[in-house]
Amino acid sequence: MTAREVPTYCRICEPLCGLIATVEDGRLVQLRPDKQHPLSRGFACPKGIAFTEVQNDPERVLYPLRRGADGAFERVSWETALDEIGARLRAIIGAHGRESLGWYFGNPSSFSYSHTLWIVGFQLAAGLRHVYSAGSQDVNNRFVASHLLYGSLTSVPVPDLDHTDFLLMVGANPVVSHGSVVSAPRIRDKLTDITKRGGRVVVVDPRRTETARLFEHVGVRADTDAWLLAALLQVIFDEGLEDAAALREQAAGVAELRRAVARFTPEVTAPVTGVDPDTVRTLARDLAAAPRAAVYGRTGTCLGRHATLVAFLIDALAAVTGNLDRPGGCVFGKELVAVSELNARLGLIKYGKTRSRIGDFPEVLRTFPAAIMAKEITTPGPGQLRALFTSAGNPVQSVPGSDELAAALRELDLFVSIDLYLTDSNRTADYVLPATTFLERDDVPLPFAALAPVPYTQYTEPVLEPYGEARQEWEIIDEIARRIGVQPFTFGPPARMLGELRRRVPGGRAARVRPRALLDLALRTGPYGDRFGLRRNGISLRKLRRHPHGLVLADRITTGVLRKVVQHKDRRVRLAPPEIITELSELAAPPIDPAYPLRIIGMRELKSHNSWMHNADSLVARREHAARIHPKDAAVAGIADGDRCRVSSPHGAIEVTARLTEDMTEGTVAVPHGWGHTAGWRRATAAGGANVNLLMSTDPADVERLAGMSHLNGVPIRLDPA
């Protein structure tokens, strides 16, 4: 049989690079970069290419598995697995109510529109309370900051990379991560273009990263960005450098914010941040003076003790310097599906409407902090979590307190995992259900269009029929839902939207809602939609199908939209909400415990992706799991380059190889997360390494209080020779 070449796109990380898949006899032969993709133009990173090894991995789970009394998994049919899960769920619901059911969805779910939609549909229809996600280890603080600033959780500004003269980048390493909460293929080129046209990129990071090395670096102590950003604001206000006209037009609470940051002079913050007062003053002046400046922060600013405050101050800095909603500044893209607009009217996604049983944390996008999931399982009482589903997630390697969580998972009455592999998380599951890969499903990247400085999108058909008996998540969710008598999308606004679409089958039963129909409706009625012919250049599924290599939706993000974005009654950006003023007034440097004098942070590597893709030989061959340590810190601990060393926190200890480098600022140690596999995938397990989340705390007092963010960066540790 002859080979077919099929255009599609990569769904591992956020640039969504175009790929060409070569398919022969229903098997994937090769993936290569798509030269015809309008933005990635022939770029793909090693992970995207190596996805062939995941797709064809003989260790992929391809059949439903049930764990027997001896602990070993055996293959069962889908009917058996689903019927047994259904029966056990009905018994648990009968005894303890639906509030005992829960779901954890991981990062890859956000790259599948149908998976995301069906989780939400199931959650609403079944009234699930215990919902957790990777978001509390990633980005939920960003959404809460938007809620406080703009009254809209889902409105997130992005740096206008193509038109800015000055990019202040805090806690992000896009040269390795390829950009996050900003979708821009070839982002490295976009950054170097800024300096080529005479602009500047300043990287604030405790490590002189791959990105920092290309540009200007400000070495900050881990988890002290709140002080640095407050000091930048203090200087700007103190020296009268704020854009008063922009603030009059856009903002409320300026005077309160000015008062709240007044005590954070560069002299006061220098001993906390390690950044000297002159550097802070110069940076503040340069930022304020730049004609067009953008401020951008990513995971380095999201996983500390003050994550929501930091995300808030990043936007506040853009607003105060007159760079919010302005060309070259921080700009608000248009969504593919009108989530924010719908939400403003219907209030489906709220902040803090309900609070968690453990720790009293506010719900964020209908999820609670994953850091408390173990305690929700092990703490008896009404509402105890007893039956858990995980989909596209590996919480034991991604969430604080890995050993506590692994033990708690064993206590569940029912644990079902939907995944591609057997992992440290699902090794104790009662059932592991095989999911399709992204090449085995149709897709459109719904949440990312609004985050793209050059808005683009792409629809892809499935490139391959599912291998083995793999099924799409939405199909699995639908089958489970049906067995407990609920049907996603049968009530609420989606149902009303669907009213016109839902055809009745003979016998009067409502036909099963399918994602593609829902998608087409959402696209056509969305901000870019064709409104069923009313808007000539608008999009529909049909139109996207005519652009199999992807479609650029606009040259750039439109500015001057703030009054539409902001949902507060006065349509003004709130610069001094009480939550933030309280954070600022209580901000105090954490006491230094002499037993744990150093701080650990995370880092990402080009050939690794979170806790997976580690079974691909081309990525993990010759990999070393190492802690990056400043030579002075290593000397104090009596550790030499290449030694094995022990990293301990008050919560646990791991052993890794020490690599000494002056790229680290003194006092901070960097170790990648997602390693130390002990289950299933043999290549990943052989790659070794250690699970850094064994060091992290699940104490509710250590969870960030406004967004429930796990504390993963800047955690106190000590180093010893192993």
455 binding partner (options Mo ion, ligand MGD, ligand SF4, none; Cβ < 5 to 8 Å by kind) = none
Q: Using the rule CB under 6 A, is 603 a contact of ligand MGD?
A: yes
Binders of ligand MGD: how many residues, by CB under 6 A?
65
* Stretch binding Mo ion (CB under 5 A), from 26-34, 130-138, 237-245, 665-673: 130-138
Q: Using the rule CB under 6 A, is 45 a contact of ligand SF4?
A: yes
Nearer to Mo ion, 177 or 472 (CB): 177
Q: Which helix (H) or strand (E) holds 435?
A: none
Q: Which two tokens stand for residue 556?
A: 């750039």
Q: Which two tokens stand for residue 564?
A: 């539409």
Q: Shortest Cβ distance from residue 120 to ligand MGD (Å)? A: 16
Nearer to ligand SF4, 358 or 449 (CB): 449
Distance (Å, whole) CA 619 – CA 308: 34
DSSP summary character for residue 700: G
CB-based burial label for 383 (10 Å; 0-12, 13-18, 19+): middle
Length of the chain: 722
Exposure b/e, 454-486, CB count within 10 A at least 16 = b: bbbbbbbebbbebbeebbbbbbbbbbbbebbeb
Q: Using the rule CB under 6 A, is 106 a contact of ligand MGD?
A: yes
The residue from 13, 280, 470, 647 that contacts ligand SF4 (CB under 6 A) is 13
Q: Using the rule CB under 6 A, is 454 a contact of ligand SF4?
A: no
* Stretch binding ligand SF4 (CB under 6 A), from 44-52, 157-165, 230-238, 600-608: 44-52
* Stretch binding ligand MGD (CB under 6 A), from 173-181, 361-369, 405-413, 698-706: 173-181
Distance (Å, whole) CA 407 – CA 428: 9
Residues 371 and 400 sit within 8 Å (Cβ to Cβ): yes
Q: Using the rule CB under 6 A, is 44 a contact of ligand SF4?
A: yes
171 binding partner (options ligand SF4, ligand MGD, Mo ion, none; Cβ < 5 to 8 Å by kind) = ligand MGD
Q: Using the rule CB under 6 A, is 391 a contact of ligand MGD?
A: yes
Q: Using the rule CB under 6 A, is 305 a contact of ligand MGD?
A: no
SS3 track for 235-293: HHHHCCCCCHHHHHHHEECHHHHHHHHCCCCHHHHHHHHCCCHHHHHHHHHHHHHCCCE
Q: Using the rule CB under 5 A, is 138 a contact of Mo ion?
A: yes
Distance (Å, whole) CA 215 – CA 200: 8
Q: What are the percentages of helix, strand and coil residues in the chain, rounded to 5?
A: 35, 20, 45
Amino acid at the residue 4 = R
242 binding partner (options Mo ion, ligand MGD, ligand SF4, none; Cβ < 5 to 8 Å by kind) = none
Cα distances from 246 to residues 321, 325, 326, 453, in angstroms, run 8, 10, 10, 22
* Stretch binding ligand SF4 (CB under 6 A), from 40-48, 109-117, 136-144, 542-550: 40-48
Q: Shortest Cβ distance from residue 181 to ligand SF4 (Å)? A: 14
Residues 373 and 395 sit within 8 Å (Cβ to Cβ): yes
Q: Shortest Cβ distance from residue 529 to ligand MGD (Å)? A: 27
* Stretch binding ligand MGD (CB under 6 A), from 105-113, 458-466, 532-540, 682-690: 105-113
The residue from 155, 183, 610, 698 that contacts ligand MGD (CB under 6 A) is 610
Residue pointed to by tokens 């996600």: 133
418 binding partner (options ligand MGD, ligand SF4, Mo ion, none; Cβ < 5 to 8 Å by kind) = ligand MGD
Q: Which two tokens stand for residue 557?
A: 């993000």
User: Which residues neighbour 522 within 8 Å (Cβ) at sequence distance 6 or greater?
Assistant: 336, 337, 338, 497
Residues 712 and 400 sit within 8 Å (Cβ to Cβ): yes
x/- track of binding to ligand SF4 for residues 169-188 (CB under 6 A): ---------x----------
Contacts with Mo ion by CB under 5 A lie at 138
Q: Using CB under 6 A as the criterion, which residues of the chain lie in contact with ligand SF4 when the complex forms?
A: 10, 12-13, 15-17, 44-45, 47-48, 178
User: Which residues are near ligand MGD by CB under 6 A?
Assistant: 13, 106-108, 134, 137-138, 170-174, 176-178, 180, 204-207, 209, 220, 222-223, 225, 298-301, 303-304, 391-395, 398, 418-421, 423, 435, 437-438, 473, 601-606, 608-612, 670, 673-674, 692-693, 712-714
